[in-house]
């Protein structure tokens, strides 16, 4: 479970290169452990998703890759790379924004919940098992089989509220 007292609060200024470094090295570990390949493209896409704590759309990723490459990266390749990252739990999809965000604790499987600031667009992942459990229990009581779970909360982060 993510301990907010240890990980930097993404809403506050911090050395983000550390976040990126940490994310890439745990991705490498995780892929090695799972026996799957973190190809150069998959790694680059992950790095792009991690460029900030704001969810990033597939279109932005395609744009950046096209600019870097001078040639347009084939969209299906990029979508496959994103699927791979999702499958490995390295990124989460933010359904309400149709965008992706890096996961800071991919080493254990979880269903995250997100606090999304409508002003600065930073999304903070809550990794709260009790929320997940409550949804699972309520669904089970109704005989409902959960196929995907999306818990996205919008509002104003502390920093934006203070600077309002
Ligand atoms: Zn950061
Ligand atoms: Zn996560
Ligand atoms: Zn904010």
pLDDT of 2 reads 44
Rounded Cα–Cα distance for residues 97 and 100 (Å): 8
What is the 102 CA–ligand 2 centroid distance (Å)?
Answer: 7
Mark which of 106, 130, 152 sits at the end of a domain: 106
65 and 121 in a single domain? The answer is no
Asked if residue 120 belongs to a known ligand binding site, the reply is yes
Asked if residue 160 belongs to a known ligand binding site, the reply is yes
pLDDT of 11 reads 75
Asked if residue 117 belongs to a known ligand binding site, the reply is yes
What is the 104 CA–ligand 1 centroid distance (Å)?
Answer: 10
126 and 72 in a single domain? The answer is no
What is the 18 CA–ligand 1 centroid distance (Å)?
Answer: 7
Mark which of 106, 134, 149 sits at the end of a domain: 106
The answer to whether residue 24 sits within a structural domain is yes
What is the 157 CA–ligand 3 centroid distance (Å)?
Answer: 4
Mean pLDDT by 10 residues, the chain (164 residues): 54 90 96 96 96 95 86 83 96 96 90 94 92 96 94 95 87
The answer to whether residue 7 sits within a structural domain is no
pLDDT of 108 reads 86
pLDDT of 10 reads 83
CATH number of the domain where residue 78 is located = 1.10.10.10
Residue 66: domain span: 15-106
Q: What pTM did the predictor assign?
A: 0.88
69 and 121 in a single domain? The answer is no
The answer to whether residue 116 sits within a structural domain is yes
Ligand nearest to the CA of 9: 1
Ligand nearest to the CA of 119: 3
What is the 102 CA–ligand 3 centroid distance (Å)?
Answer: 18
What is the 132 CA–ligand 1 centroid distance (Å)?
Answer: 25
Q: Which of 92, 84, 137 is nearest to 111 (CA)?
A: 92
Asked if residue 31 belongs to a known ligand binding site, the reply is no
The answer to whether residue 151 sits within a structural domain is yes
50 and 130 in a single domain? The answer is no
The answer to whether residue 146 sits within a structural domain is yes
Rounded Cα–Cα distance for residues 93 and 110 (Å): 13
Mark which of 65, 82, 106 sits at the end of a domain: 106
Ligand nearest to the CA of 116: 3
What is the 19 CA–ligand 2 centroid distance (Å)?
Answer: 14
119 and 51 in a single domain? The answer is no
pLDDT of 127 reads 85
């Amino acid at each position: 479970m993510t301990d907010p007292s240890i990980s930097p609060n993404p809403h506050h200024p911090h050395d983000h290169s550390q976040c990126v470094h940490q994310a890439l090295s745990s991705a490498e570990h995780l892929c090695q452990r799972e026996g799957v390949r973190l190809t150069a493209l998959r790694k680059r896409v992950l790095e792009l998703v991690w460029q900030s704590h704001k969810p990033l759309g597939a279109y932005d990723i395609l744009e950046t890759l096209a600019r870097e490459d001078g040639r347009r990266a084939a969209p299906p390749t990029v979508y496959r790379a994103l699927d791979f990252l999702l499958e490995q739990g390295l990124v989460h999809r933010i359904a309400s924004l149709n965008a992706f965000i890096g996961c800071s604790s991919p080493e254990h499987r979880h269903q995250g919940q997100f606090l999304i600031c409508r002003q600065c667009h930073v999304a903070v992942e809550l990794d709260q098992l009790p929320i997940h459990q409550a949804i699972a229990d309520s669904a089970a009581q109704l005989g409902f089989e959960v196929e995907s779970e999306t818990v996205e909360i919008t509002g104003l982060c502390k920093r934006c509220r203070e600077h309002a």
